[in-house]
């Protein structure tokens, strides 16, 4: 008879194949650990640092590394990271004489199976090594053990003999196998009498207090209670009924999920035994639930979601993605290339650079055009995220897309409306000043007309005198007597009042030219304000723009205030929308005039004052417009930029001036518009404009009011 293997023989044989590498710069520590492990049947190789250990591991298989954390050259943490990065399956136990929380925290990312604080007891070392060996043996022998188990149960059930020694040896071997398995095993006969029971099965089914050997021969109901017993009884009945494999999953009172599988062991004519495999299903169920929840979220999300592998092959799309791209529920999209939704040119020029960016930075967001199934295009707001597995290795991409075609169309309409409103406001501002502008034009036109009439009359008078001079010249050339003509000349000169005209005509001409110049200046200013422009920035002189604005608003200002300008002569030109800024200046100046009018009245004996100051620094041009008006009440200062909000009486203000001004300064120019105001004292507006245009993605932070 062949010698029977004992459980100890199986375990010791396994230890010879369990490769351990010890790493420490202290040879004394290596000797002690090597002796302890060798005494317990383990074979070890030693290394003085991480680099030497990596060379040993490269030469042959390594299943467990016991390493010090702090070592010269390559330390334990670098060694562990190198092992994890190379995807080797070796487990790691860290040792250290510096057991600080920081050291322990640094090792977590390396996923060690144990941590030893020097000096440590040999039994603590053996406990960790034995545990690692058990895990290794279970993972490497799982398939063999399952086969052995199945064959052993079937074969041993058929070949039961009176050979007690052999039966005991075989049972010991089988129980040794089961003791190292991560799942539990229960074998019963048709009457539910226990024939085989592993310690793991007892632990998983809540009876860790029992000895499995003492349960042999007992009924299932005498060992297991509650939901465990009911589940075993139910599966037992089903297997006996149809002779097929059956399974069930359920949650026990501790909250753990159990997976129970039952299959028959058939004898010559009928079922002899039923084997139950018991497994902890908790973690797997959590994973399945997470996947199910993510799928449910994807199905119910309000934006299109698609997932692809690293080769851009679609692995998932939600209903919104299908709908937006013009595909139905029956259209098979999984397995199709993502470039299905983009033209070939766009894929090469736009999508592939986006993907490359995501590979580098894990994320991209922006506007991307997509193609529907019918070939039509639509604009999306797209976000792309790199997917990683539980080892942080990239495994795919997830694409989020929101159809913003309608939103962009509405935004474009809104921008067009705002542009029209600004233009209308500019025309309205000029229109509200029309009477004053007409008066300003009327005055120079009046004296231009008067002087023109004067010059016409003067010319008629001089025309008679010129005729007389011509006759005398002709008579002189003919040698005739001019005595009579001299009397006529004297009379014509008297009537023409030649001395008077010599003095007045130059003045009349000068006044006429001045009037024409004043009218031309006003007309140019009006044209600047009423012209919508080409929507492009250009270099402009802020000082000249302010002077032009003062010209247009002169009649509105001159009756209630004096205007003082303190212009920076070295003010640089800035890149701006000129007509828009003219409107801002006009809005603020007209508001200042109205505020002063509330203080001094319509026919003031003493006027208020508006002071306009310009200056600059390296980056910005600053404009200050201060008035001595009534000021803005503290209670409403926070609302002055609200659309359609006004403190003026009905018919005098629309509430759009400062709202539009703020959009122009802040949003269109990247500047700031602030103010300070004290009720009864006046208001000062501060405008800051960048000398050069800000970048398109620069964020401008602007307070609602005040500094």
Alpha helices, H only, 160-281: 164-179, 199-204, 220-223, 226-242
- Mean pLDDT for 626-653 is 68
297-335: buried (b, 16+ CB within 10 Å) or exposed (e) per residue?
A: ebeeeebbbbbbeeebebebbbbbbbebbbbeeeeebee
Question: 519 near 445, Cβ under 8 Å?
Answer: yes
pLDDT at position 698, please? 47
pLDDT at position 449, please? 75
Greater pLDDT, 139 or 132: 132
Q: Do domains 181-286 and 301-398 have the same CATH topology?
A: yes
pLDDT band at 267 (very low <50, low <70, confident <90, very high): confident
Q: Evaluate if residue 550 carries a pLDDT over 80.
A: yes
Question: Scanning the structure block, which residue is given the tokens 């010319």?
Answer: 459
Lowest mean pLDDT among 376-385, 405-414, 563-572, 573-582: 405-414
CATH architecture entry for 181-286: 2-Layer Sandwich (3.30)
> What is the per-residue pLDDT across 348-405, written as a single tens digit (0 to 9) for each?
989 999 999 999 999 998 889 898 888 898 888 899 999 887 788 888 898 988 888 8
Question: Scanning the structure block, which residue is given the tokens 């639930």?
Answer: 289
Rounded-to-integer distance, Cα 71 and Cα 49, Å: 6
**Does the 301-398 domain belong in CATH 3.40.109.10?**
no
Q: Evaluate if residue 78 carries a pLDDT over 50.
A: yes
In the chain, count of helices (H) and strands (E)? 21, 22
> What is the per-residue pLDDT across 613-623, written as a single tens digit (0 to 9) for each?
999 999 999 99
Q: Evaluate if residue 66 carries a pLDDT over 80.
A: yes
Rounded-to-integer distance, Cα 334 and Cα 348, Å: 22
460-495: buried (b, 16+ CB within 10 Å) or exposed (e) per residue?
A: ebbeebeebeeebeeeeeeeeebeebeebbeebbee
Question: 316 near 298, Cβ under 8 Å?
Answer: yes
- Mean pLDDT for 67-95 is 83
Greater pLDDT, 379 or 175: 379
Structure tokens at 15: 């230890």
Pairing assessment for the beta strands 91-96 and 64-68 based on DSSP bridges: parallel
Task: Select, from the ranges 423-427, 439-443, 516-520, the one with the highest average predicted confidence (pLDDT).
Answer: 516-520
Greater pLDDT, 345 or 474: 345
pLDDT at position 595, please? 86
Question: 421 near 656, Cβ under 8 Å?
Answer: yes
- The gap from C-alpha 187 to its chain's centroid, in whole angstroms, comes to 58
Question: What is the radius of gyration, based on Cα positions, of the chain?
Answer: 49
Question: 646 near 653, Cβ under 8 Å?
Answer: yes
Q: Evaluate if residue 181 carries a pLDDT over 70.
A: no
Question: 281 near 249, Cβ under 8 Å?
Answer: yes
- Count how many residues are written for the chain: 707
Structure tokens at 449: 């007309």
Pairing assessment for the beta strands 608-616 and 184-189 based on DSSP bridges: unpaired
Q: Evaluate if residue 642 carries a pLDDT over 60.
A: yes
Residues 6+ apart with CB under 8 A from 173: 4, 5, 6, 7, 10
Count CA atoms closer than 13 A to 345's CA, side-chain side.
Answer: 1
Q: Evaluate if residue 101 carries a pLDDT over 60.
A: no
Concatenated DSSP letters of 13-35 = HHHHT-EEEEE-S-HHHHHHHHH
Coil, strand, or helix at residue 92? strand
Coil, strand, or helix at residue 182? coil
Rounded-to-integer distance, Cα 634 and Cα 279, Å: 73
Domain parsing of the chain, residue ranges:
7-137, 181-286, 301-398, 404-531, 533-698
**Does the 533-698 domain belong in CATH 3.30.565.10?**
yes
Rounded-to-integer distance, Cα 516 and Cα 255, Å: 97
Q: Evaluate if residue 451 carries a pLDDT over 50.
A: yes
Q: How many CB atoms are closer than 10 A to CB 60? A: 9
Question: Scanning the structure block, which residue is given the tokens 């269109």?
Answer: 668
Fold held by 7-137: Rossmann fold (3.40.50)
According to DSSP, the residues that pair with 91 across neighbouring strands are 64
Structure tokens at 29: 């520590």
Rounded-to-integer distance, Cα 410 and Cα 403, Å: 13
pLDDT at position 357, please? 92
Is the torsion defined by CA of 420, 422, 425, 427 positive or negative? negative
């Amino acid at each position: 008879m062949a010698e029977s293997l004992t459980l100890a023989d199986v375990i010791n044989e396994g230890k010879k194949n369990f490769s351990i590498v010890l790493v420490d710069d202290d040879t004394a520590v290596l000797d002690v650990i090597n002796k302890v492990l060798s005494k317990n049947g383990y074979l070890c190789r030693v290394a003085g640092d991480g680099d030497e250990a990596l060379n040993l591991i490269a030469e042959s298989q390594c299943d467990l590394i016991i390493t010090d954390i702090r070592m010269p050259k390559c330390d334990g943490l670098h060694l562990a990271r190198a092992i994890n990065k190379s995807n080797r399956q070796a487990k790691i136990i860290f040792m250290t004489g510096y057991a600080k929380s920081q050291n322990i925290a640094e090792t977590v990312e390396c996923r060690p199976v144990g941590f030893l604080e020097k000096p440590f007891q040999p039994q603590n070392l053996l406990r960790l090594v034995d545990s690692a060996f058990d895990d290794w043996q279970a993972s490497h022998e799982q398939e063999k053990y399952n086969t052995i188990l199945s064959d052993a149960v079937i074969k041993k059930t058929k070949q039961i003999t009176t050979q007690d020694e052999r039966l005991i040896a075989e049972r010991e071997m089988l129980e040794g196998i089961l003791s190292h398995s991560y799942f539990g095993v229960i074998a019963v006969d048709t009457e539910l009498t226990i024939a085989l029971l592993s310690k793991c099965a007892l632990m998983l089914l809540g009876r860790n207090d029992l000895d499995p050997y003492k349960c042999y021969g007992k009924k299932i109901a005498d060992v297991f209670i509650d939901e465990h017993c009911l589940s075993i009884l139910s599966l037992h009945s089903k297997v006996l009924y149809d002779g097929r494999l059956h399974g069930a999953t359920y949650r026990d009172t501790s909250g753990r999920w159990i997976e129970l599988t039952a299959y028959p062991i058939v004898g010559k004519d009928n079922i002899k035994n039923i084997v139950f495999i018991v497994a902890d299903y908790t973690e797997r169920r959590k994973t399945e639930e997470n996947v199910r929840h993510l799928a449910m979220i994807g199905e119910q999300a309000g934006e299109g979601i698609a997932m692809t592998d690293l080769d851009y092959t679609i692995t998932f799309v939600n209903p919104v993605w299908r709908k937006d791209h013009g595909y139905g529920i029956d259209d098979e999209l999984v397995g199709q290339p993502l470039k299905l939704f983009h033209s070939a040119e766009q894929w090469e020029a736009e999508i592939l650079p986006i993907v490359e960016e995501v590979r580098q930075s894990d994320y991209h967001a922006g506007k991307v055009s997509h193609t529907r199934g019918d070939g039509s295009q639509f604009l999306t707001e797209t976000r792309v995220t790199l997917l990683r597995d539980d080892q942080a290795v990239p495994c795919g991409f997830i694409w989020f897309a929101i159809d913003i075609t309608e939103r962009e169309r509405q935004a474009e309409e809104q921008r067009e409306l705002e542009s029209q409103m600004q233009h209308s406001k500019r025309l309205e501002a000029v229109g509200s000043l029309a009477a004053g502008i007409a008066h300003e034009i009327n005055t120079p036109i009046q004296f231009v007309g008067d002087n023109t009439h004067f010059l016409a009359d003067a010319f008629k008078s001089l025309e008679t005198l010129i005729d007389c001079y011509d006759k005398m010249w002709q008579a002189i050339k003919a040698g005739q007597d001019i005595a009579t003509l001299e009397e006529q000349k004297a009379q014509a000169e008297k009537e023409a009042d030649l001395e008077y005209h010599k003095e007045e005509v130059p003045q009349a001409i000068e006044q006429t030219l001045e009037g024409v110049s004043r009218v031309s200046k006003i007309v140019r200013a009006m044209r600047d304000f009423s012209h919508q422009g080409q929507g492009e920035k250009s270099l402009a002189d802020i000082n000249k723009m302010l002077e032009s604005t003062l010209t247009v608003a002169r009649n509105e200002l001159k009756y209630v205030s004096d205007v003082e300008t303190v212009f920076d002569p070295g003010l640089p030109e800035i890149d701006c929308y000129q007509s828009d800024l003219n409107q801002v200046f006009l809005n603020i100046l007209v508001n200042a005039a109205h505020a002063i009018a509330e203080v001094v009245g319509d026919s003031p004996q003493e006027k208020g004052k508006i002071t306009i100051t310009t200056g600059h620094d390296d980056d910005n041009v600053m404009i200050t417009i201060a008035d001595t008006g009534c000021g803005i009440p503290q209670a409403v200062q926070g609302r002055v930029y609200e659309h359609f909000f006004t403190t003026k009486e009905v018919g005098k203000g629309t509430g759009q001036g400062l709202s539009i001004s703020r959009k122009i300064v802040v949003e269109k120019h990247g500047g700031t518009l602030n103010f300070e105001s004290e009720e009864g004292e006046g208001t000062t507006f501060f405008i800051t404009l960048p000398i050069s245009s800000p970048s398109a993605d620069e964020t401008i932070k602007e307070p609602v009011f005040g500094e």
